[in-house]
Amino acid sequence: MTPRILILTAGFGEGHNAAARALAAAFERCDPPARVAVFDAFAAASPRLNAASRQLYLSLINGAPRVWSRFYAWIDDSEFIQRRLWLFHREIGVLAERLRRDPPAAICCTYPLYAFFLQAIRARGVRLPPVYNVVTDSISIHSLWWRAACDGWFLPNADSADVLLRAGLPPTLVHVSGFPVDAAFRDAGRQLAPPDLAHFARPRVLHLVHSGTRHAEATDHALMKETDWDLTCAVGRDRALRARLTRLAARRPFPTRVLGWTDQIPRLLMTHHAVISKAGGATTQEAIAALCPMIVSQIVPGQEEGNYELLRRYGVGALATSPAAVLGSLRAAFADRGRVWAQWRAALWPLARPDAADDIARHVLGHFPAVSTLQPLSPDAPEPSPVPRLARAAA
């Protein structure tokens, strides 16, 4: 019998979708392959509201980060979501119908609200398969990730697992798997590497420009003035910025590429010495998997703080929030034939888990067939007590 796996994601931050895609591919690579569906209940329930909510989210994190930080912390400290699930009645409804129409053998959630939605569906007396949370944050993990019951949690690193263990989750349910990344990091990681700086190779610098990245164009202008580095700028779907940088790159007599949207990020990360980027969950974890030290140019308060904290704890890369600071960090890393850069790269080895998606898939399928340890609730049963929130200071 071919197991059916349902992966639940949402478009509020690219990390959730990136993890979902990597997981889906891993389940399909299994022998025998699982039948996988990736589902976004927010997009399915209210496409226009979802699009507007995503735009508001981007506007807040990019244009009003302090407002976003206060909102993020308030939700973290309160039980607003748990007590007002009726606000998500459309999303819960389409998810319940999806489960009725095509019952899965297991559910993997890459967005934290789904565990609450599933808890509400269980409260209607519905028996569910095992439910797993695949946590896409590091260290500064929002309490929504653990306040609803699950059959297991997959964490990107041991430092993040410690947060959930201190919150009171059973150790048997907390698994340090790594962050699910594209299989290219596993398959090509042994063949692809940047040239050896110790043998006087030219450093290769990659700049990933995300929506709302501050000082992006000024940083690229400064980078293109450097004569000792090869440069690649990937600007996504910003056509106007790509056109301006392409004109500027044409006047630079050194190897320079300006890319738009590309599906070659894994190869770029594995063949460059350093990447400049905001501390997004997917980008940070992909840089780790590629052993590519990261210069963090921007941190969104809340979820991205822990991503940089992970790098800081392990002595990898630098925080540089201005063009001058970015250049200074790179010069220091590449000096003396890349002595500091080599230390950064070596420090990434303990964190890199390019097999994470496959490990998660094997774990989930290794328990198939199975039933959830979370039993259905009668409609008049009290809501289960939430897992206690760990004080943020303890993290």
> Considering the entire predicted model, what is its pTM?
0.90
Q: How far apart are CA 322 and CA 330, in angstroms?
A: 13
pLDDT digits (tens, 9 = 90+) for 60-89: 888 888 898 899 899 998 888 888 999 999
Residue 378 CA: distances (Å) to CA of 53, 100, 130, 148, 278? 33, 18, 19, 17, 46
Q: How far apart are CA 169 and CA 216, in angstroms?
A: 41
Q: How many residues does the chain have?
A: 395
Give residue 376's pLDDT. Answer: 52
Give residue 385's pLDDT. Answer: 41
What are the φ/ψ torsions at residue 100 (nearest 5 degrees)? Answer: -70, -40
Instruction: State the pLDDT confidence band at 321, using cuts at 50, 70 and 90.
Output: very high
Q: Token pair for residue 340?
A: 């500091």
Nearest partner of 297 among 272, 268, 266, 275, judged by Cα? 275
Instruction: State the pLDDT confidence band at 155, using cuts at 50, 70 and 90.
Output: very high
Give residue 212's pLDDT. Answer: 65
What are the φ/ψ torsions at residue 302 (nearest 5 degrees)? Answer: 100, -105
Q: Which residues pair with 38 in a beta bridge?
A: 7
DSSP structure class, residue 185? H
Let me know: does 125 contact 379? Beta carbons within 8 Å.
yes
pLDDT digits (tens, 9 = 90+) for 170-209: 999 999 999 999 999 999 867 889 999 999 999 999 999 9
What is the radius of gyration, based on Cα positions, of the chain? 22
Give residue 215's pLDDT. Answer: 85
Domains by residue range for the chain, with CATH = 4-181+354-394 (3.40.50.2000), 184-348 (3.40.50.2000)
Give residue 59's pLDDT. Answer: 85
Q: Is the dihedral of CA 352, 331, 223, 200 positive or negative?
A: negative
Give residue 388's pLDDT. Answer: 40
Give residue 384's pLDDT. Answer: 41
* Residue 386 clears pLDDT 50, i.e. is over it: no
Q: Is the dihedral of CA 205, 211, 215, 217 positive or negative?
A: positive
Give residue 381's pLDDT. Answer: 41
pLDDT digits (tens, 9 = 90+) for 24-46: 999 999 988 999 999 999 999 99
Q: Token pair for residue 49?
A: 């509201």
pLDDT digits (tens, 9 = 90+) for 254-312: 889 999 999 999 999 999 999 999 999 999 999 999 999 999 999 988 889 999 999 99
Instruction: State the pLDDT confidence band at 390, using cuts at 50, 70 and 90.
Output: very low
Neighbouring CB atoms inside 10 A of 248's CB total: 17
How high does pLDDT run on average in the chain? 90
Q: Is the dihedral of CA 132, 134, 139, 141 positive or negative?
A: negative
Let me know: does 260 contact 267? Beta carbons within 8 Å.
no
Residue 145 CA: distances (Å) to CA of 86, 255, 307, 387? 19, 44, 16, 10
pLDDT digits (tens, 9 = 90+) for 12-29: 888 999 999 999 999 999
Let me know: does 266 contact 243? Beta carbons within 8 Å.
no
* Residue 161 clears pLDDT 50, i.e. is over it: yes
Give residue 286's pLDDT. Answer: 97
Q: How far apart are CA 279 and CA 15, in angstroms?
A: 11
**The residue type at 5:** I
